[in-house]
Amino acid sequence: MSGAIVDLSRAPQGDLTVECCVVGSGAGGATAAWELTRAGHEVLVVEEGGDYTGFQLTGRDGAMYDQLYMERGGRATSDLAITILQGRVLGGGPVINAADVVPMPASVARHWQTKFGLADFSPEALAPFEAAALADLSANVPEEKQINANNAALREGAQQLGLRHEIMMHDRVGCIGTGTCLIGCPINSKRNTRFVAIPAALDAGARFFLRARVTRIEEAGAEVKKLTLRTLDAKGYREERTLTVRAKIVVLAANAVASAQLLLRSGVGNAHVGKNLMLQPQLPVTAFFDREIRFFRGIPQAAAVTEYERLDDPEHGFWGFRIEAIAGTPGIVASLLPKLGLPGKEVMSRYAHMAAALLLVPDGPNGVVRVDRAGNPLVDYAMPDEQKQRYRDAIKAAARVYFAAGARSVQVPYARPLLLTSERELDRVDAIGFEPATAPFLSAHQQGGIRFAPSPKDGGASPEGLVYGTRDVFVLDSSGFPSSASSHTMAPIMTVSRMLARRIAARKGG
Amino acid sequence: MGALSGFQALSRRRFFRVTLGVGVSVGAATGGLLAMRGGAPDVAGLRVLSAHAYRTLEALATALFPPGGPIPQGAAGMDLARAFDGFLADEPAHHRRDLSRALFWLEYGPVLYERRAKTFSRLRDDERLAHFDSWATSQSLLRRQVALAFRKFLSVVFYDRPEIWPHLGYDGPLFGDRSGK
Ligand SMILES: Cc1cc2nc3c(=O)[nH]c(=O)nc-3n(C[C@H](O)[C@H](O)[C@H](O)COP(=O)(O)OP(=O)(O)OC[C@H]3O[C@@H](n4cnc5c(N)ncnc54)[C@H](O)[C@@H]3O)c2cc1C
Ligand code: SF4
């Protein structure tokens, strides 16, 4: 079988039988597809997004969120408290992510071994797969000239205060700093799944079906599984035709929400499916400077204040909080800022003088994925008080950093706008209650939902990724992660996916 | 981020429909409620929204983005409600229905929650903004959700317009689409 990308909205296909069907072409799916194909397996990847590269990525919010993000950018928790950002495009999340490459700390791997019984996830066992992931991503540290004023302001504040900080590795090669990474790179500078694993899998013979959604898995305990696919129209808005794919091996890599959703709507798996979801919600803050910052040009996210994160918390592994620079196009920034009317315009008129950061707070398994009668995912998330306190602490820490870097004011995006003009006002942050739908939390690093565990009593899938109660239905995305793998999930997912895919290939004698 | 965030989740809330139903039937029982909003405006070519819903959304857009201040343009004349109508047309049927209901609810907000004799689109711009702010900070999760969802959508489409960018000091995407579409 020769490799091909087939857009099912344009080229209808008949039912077919393959050896292995991979659901989702993102960090986990593309890596697994490449690994399995090069081991000699016949692989079909089903992806509900389209293929967008180069100048098809127009740099405009409305059109790009519509086409590159799950549910047109509109996925959120059931109470609307947290926007759940996930890619929906050939290549998945890496196409629209911030391109940061942060491997899983060794202490987290050890935490998984000791707390969750994942004996095979030792740092030593993961090391070669992590090295391969970093090589795939061309992981490199941005050059000093690529650090824009937004990232430099965060770093400067941290330096002034003597706080630990870093410039993160990234997957960019030849970046010219357009600043639109979160709606796709128009010059294909991000060396991610779309440009590495997918071409390699194609070369090795994998087929990719685009604009097709897997809606059901049946006969999950049989040697040959039956998958129902619904094809979508050219923009991915509506389901059109139905197609059946039969496969001996099924690999779920649809993302932490969608993989659990697919099992739930199929009635496959045990009672742990959908449980233990982590969203790692992030809260944006903005700072205003007299000097021009122009955060919309250059790499949006490179600098991070790491002083307050803990990588070896005995209870949680990765814990605490991080502060990371971020930027956004005008529409997105305006949608996150609290003021409207003329005061809102006043704030936006200082867009070129804004700096912004995301407060990244790792969480426990506070979320649950359910499905409604039509099979749509519903994500419930209860944020504990302890977590809310870490956001308050993070706001204060970020404000101190920005004031140290010379900011005039720091804006906290809360329904009752809070503008801090000096450190003396930090106590005001204590009044923030974070009631649902009052602050624009964003989730980009969903994990869990089909937790790996050595026994079906404790999780939804085995440490090999095998979904309990099935025969050869595997989950190779972050759904299996029992605690937050890292501040950024792409490299850890690629690492784990490759390790487990290689084991599947070996098991089958590939 | 999450340009259109919230609409899908909003419309999936089971009790959303129920709450709207309650609000509207209470109103209807007091009589004359529908008459309060006045006749439908004359708008052609809508794909999903009713003319009344269109007017509510336009009234919201012009309150959120009035003319003047550091950005001379306001939402009036930009037809942001039509952009929403276009967006909605490609949403699943239950989203279309529920979001149209949310606009209906917003229209009667001043009557239901402030005991005023005017519906939303009949208020002055500043009154509308104040009323909408009261939704954003309301004790009711549902009202906060409606406020959040509509303000996000309208902010994205207003500030995505190239004629606004010079007033922000933004020179547009370096590559790609710099048109007014
Ligand atoms: C805005 C944003 C910024 C981020 N920044 C970073 C960063 O800088 N660094 C980092 O390490 N991580 C980052 N992440 C996270 C990282 O990109 C994701 O964790 C990672 O892509 C998840 O990999 P995955 O394989 O689980 O799923 P994805 O990469 O999300 O891929 C899943 C794919 O499955 C498809 N799919 C879903 N359901 C179905 C179905 N039923 N049928 C067919 N196809 C389906 C989707 O369309 C999607 O393309 C970011 C994420 C976002 C959203
Ligand atoms: S900043 Fe660099 S990587 Fe990001 S979109 Fe622009 S050119 Fe591409």
What one-character-per-residue DSSP string does chain B give? --TTTTHHHHHH-HHHHHHHHHHHHHHHHHS-HHHHT-SPP-----SSS-HHHHHHHHHHHHHHS-S-TTS---STTT-HHHHHHHHHHTS-HHHHHHHHHHHHHHHTHHHHHH--SS-GGGS-HHHHHHHHHHHHT-S-HHHHHHHHHHHHHHHHHHHTSTTTGGGGT----SSS--S--
Domain boundaries, chain B: 10-39, 42-164
Alpha carbons within 13 A on the beta-carbon side of A475: 35
Instruction: List ligand 1's pocket residues with C-beta within 6 A.
Output: A 23-29, 46-49, 85-89, 92-94, 96-100, 102, 182, 213-214, 253-255, 258, 262, 444-445, 477-478, 488-491, 493
For residue A370, report the phi and psi dihedrals to the nearest 5 degrees: -125, 175
The three-class DSSP label of residue A267 is: coil
The tens-digit pLDDT sequence of chain A (510 residues) is 579 999 999 998 999 999 999 999 999 999 999 999 999 999 999 999 999 999 999 988 888 999 999 999 989 999 989 999 999 999 999 999 999 999 999 999 999 999 999 999 999 999 999 999 999 999 999 999 999 999 999 999 999 999 999 999 999 999 999 999 999 999 999 999 999 999 999 999 999 999 999 999 999 999 999 999 999 999 999 999 999 999 999 999 999 999 999 999 999 999 999 999 999 999 999 999 999 999 999 999 999 999 999 999 999 999 999 999 999 999 989 988 888 999 999 999 999 999 999 999 999 999 999 999 999 999 999 999 999 999 999 999 999 999 999 999 999 988 888 999 999 999 999 999 999 989 999 999 999 999 999 999 999 999 999 999 999 999 999 999 999 999 999 999 999 999 999 999 998 654
Question: Residue A209 CA: which ligand is closest?
Answer: 1
Q: How far is the CA of A194 from the centre of ligand 2 (A)?
A: 15
What averages of pLDDT result for each successive group of 10 residues across chain B (181 residues)?
47 44 45 64 87 95 96 95 92 83 93 93 94 93 90 92 95 78 60
Residues A486, A111 contacting (CB under 8 angstroms): no
**Total Cβ atoms within 10 A of residue A237:** 13
Nearest to A69 by CA among A77, A61, A80: A61
pLDDT tens digits for A272-288?
999 999 999 999 999 99
User: Which of A55, A68, A170, A178, when mutated, tests ligand 2's pocket best, judged by the most ligand atoms within 8 Å of its CB?
Assistant: A178
Tell me, letter by letter, the H, E, C secondary structure of A304-329.
EECCCEEEEECCCEEEECEEEECCCC
Residues of A in contact with B159 (CB under 8 A): 330-331, 333-334, 348
Candidates A345, A354, A418: best to mutate against B (most CBs of B within 10 A) is A345
What is the set of domains in chain A, with CATH numbers?
1-138+187-277+446-510 (3.50.50.60), 141-172+282-362+384-433 (3.30.410)
Nearest-by-Cβ selection for B144 from A346, A378, A438? A438
Q: Which residues contact B179 (CB under 8 A, 6 or more apart)?
A: B162
Instruction: Considering only the beta carbons, identify the residue of B3, B174, B175 that sits closest to A332.
Output: B3
Distance CA A239, CA A436 (A): 32
Ligand number nearest CA of A296 is 2
Rounded to a whole number, what is the distance in Å from the CA of B29 to chain A's nearest CA? 30
The alpha carbon of B112 and the centre of ligand 2 are apart by a number of angstroms equal to 49
Give B133's contacts in chain A (Cβ within 8 Å): 340
Tell how far the Cα of A214 is from the centroid of ligand 1, in angstroms. 16
Q: How many A×B Cβ pairs under 8 Å?
A: 201
Residue A57 has its nearest CB partner, among B10, B90, B176, at: B176
Radius of gyration of chain B measured on its C-alpha atoms: 17
Which ligand is the nearest neighbour of the Cα of A88? 1
Atom number in ligand 2 closest to CA A300: 1
Q: How far is the CA of A61 from the centre of ligand 2 (A)?
A: 15
Is residue A53 a contact partner of residue A68, using CB atoms and an 8 Å limit? no
Q: What is the largest CA-CA distance in chain B?
A: 56
- Distance between Cα A206 and ligand 1 center (Å): 20
Residues within 6 Å of ligand 2 by CB: A 99, 172, 175-181, 185, 187, 189-190, 299
CB A166 within 8 A of CB A322: no
Q: What is the pLDDT of residue B36?
A: 65
- CA A485, chain centre distance (Å): 12
Cross-chain residue pair A378–B8, CB shorter than 8 Å: no
B65 and A345 within 8 Å at the Cβ level: the answer is yes
Give the one of B133, B151, B168 whose C-beta lies nearest to A351's C-beta. Answer: B168
> Looking at residue A358, what is its pLDDT?
98
In Å, how far from its chain's centre is CA A95? Answer: 11
By C-alpha distance, the chain B residue nearest A58 is B176
The residue whose C-alpha atom lies closest to atom 8 belonging to ligand 2 is A185
A435 contact residues in B (CB cutoff 8 A): 141, 144
Task: Note whether ipTM > 0.85 here.
Answer: yes
